[in-house]
Amino acid sequence: MYYPEPTEDDIAQFEKDGFLVVREAIDPVEQQALADMGAEMIERPADWGNDWDWRRDEPLGQRSFRIVQSGVDRLFPWLPRSRFRSWATRFGGALMGQDMAFWYEQFLAKPPGVGAPTPWHQDEAYWGRTLQNRGVTCWTAFHAVGIENGCMHFVRGGHGNLLEHRNPPEMASDLLVCEIPGDSDVVVCPIEPGSVTFHHSATPHMTTGNSTGRWRQSLTQHFRNPGCAAQEPDHYSWRVRVSQRADE
């Protein structure tokens, strides 16, 4: 059954592990629409937005786009109205045990052969103290993903505390990284089309680079407790702001 309701076991596992894989969650019609969206996006470099792996030795106009990062709701108005969006909101809220509201989305793509790894990080490191234990993310790829092309890796049970983060000196983007403990229980999560992962806003996670001959395309949807919208952001000292707009 597509767009299932979370079971008690799902909720208990998420509370313990900080992440959950939901197999065959997206109905085939919307899965195909996501795949079509991805195919269109990789042919529209003017809409790519940011390069999350932008390096300081690259001028703005010569970014390599090793990790394409772009909003897509504005370009594909069916997505905000999709069953997938409403289901992910409900499912994520049930896992977190609190109301959740959609916040923002990102199309994240890694080009063939040179797509960069997304290093270990926790979403709360970007979002600040206001989102402490109040955010959840749903991630899916538009095709099969594994270690070879950028599947999710999570630290099991790592959502209990926030790690120190930094912006690497070679990065011109706002990318943040952290060091996970050496004894961390790292879980690799390859998935097939139509499957998704959910993770707590404090769960350390990363994705590998793309060494294959085709684009790695994914969509991440971020949700937060509605009460956060009325609160001022309270960012950590390591947070950086970078504009990749040529007109700024």
Give the start-to-end residue ranges of the domains of the chain.
18-224
Average pLDDT across the chain, whole number: 97
DSSP state of 162: P
What gap in Å lies between CA 202 and CA 120, rounded to an integer? 12
CA distances from 108 to 58, 95, 157, 217, 228 (A): 20, 24, 25, 6, 25
pLDDT in tens, 55-97: 999 999 999 999 999 999 999 999 999 999 999 999 999 999 9
Among 188, 248, 195, 246, residue whose Cα is nearest residue 218: 195
Neighbours of 215 (CB within 10 A): 20
Superfamily of domain 18-224: q2cbj1_9rhob like domain (2.60.120.620)
Q: Which pTM was predicted?
A: 0.96
Q: What is the mean pLDDT of residues 114-136?
A: 98
